[in-house]
Amino acid sequence: MIINTPLVILMCIVFILVFLFVKTIDKRKWLTILVSLLITPIVYFYAAYPMINIFTNYHHQKHFVSETWKEKPTLRYELSDDMIQSKALIGKSKVEVEALLGAYEWLTWNDSKKNHDTNKWNYSLGIEPGAFNTNKECIEIVFKDDYAVAINPYKEAIKFDDKE
């Protein structure tokens, strides 16, 4: 565990809340402080920290690695930011992109052609953790003259059952 400023601030807040609660039980200051010091880490790691993780969608960022992308498709959202920021695919041919990412998962629909656009490949990045996350992350890779020119991230609604 790394001790940093947010951790110290949150531990202080939890200590104050525990102290105020324990103070309602017993009026002796030395006992209240001692019990609060002992209970604070337990309350933080078993109550506050899990709640923070549930209601925030923080996730670890990893460097883009082709093997990880192919082997763990549900964790692609951890690799995507690095891939987009480093422009790792820009200027690569369709063959090179397919070697790095694997075959496209679907093509973008082109209304003017009434067909799929073979110059816009889409990949699912998985679902970011979070309690209120109702979208899955996706990227669209745009090709011009068979070379990647843009990577567009977007979100798509999660569909669990197709009842139509």
**Angstrom distance (rounded) from CA 27 to CA 60:** 44
pLDDT in the model for residue 52: 81
**Angstrom distance (rounded) from CA 27 to CA 66:** 61
79, exposed or middle or buried, with CB in 10 Å at 0-12, 13-18, 19+? buried
Specify the pTM.
0.67
139, exposed or middle or buried, with CB in 10 Å at 0-12, 13-18, 19+? buried
Q: Domain coordinates of the chain in residue numbers?
A: 5-55, 66-157
pLDDT in the model for residue 143: 95
**DSSP three-state, residue 1:** coil
pLDDT in the model for residue 2: 72
pLDDT tens over the chain, length 164 residues: 677 888 889 889 999 999 999 999 988 989 999 999 999 999 988 988 888 877 776 667 788 889 999 998 888 888 888 899 999 899 999 999 999 999 999 998 888 888 898 999 999 988 887 777 788 889 999 999 999 999 999 998 887 776 65
66-157 has CATH 3.30.1450 classification: yes
pLDDT in the model for residue 164: 55
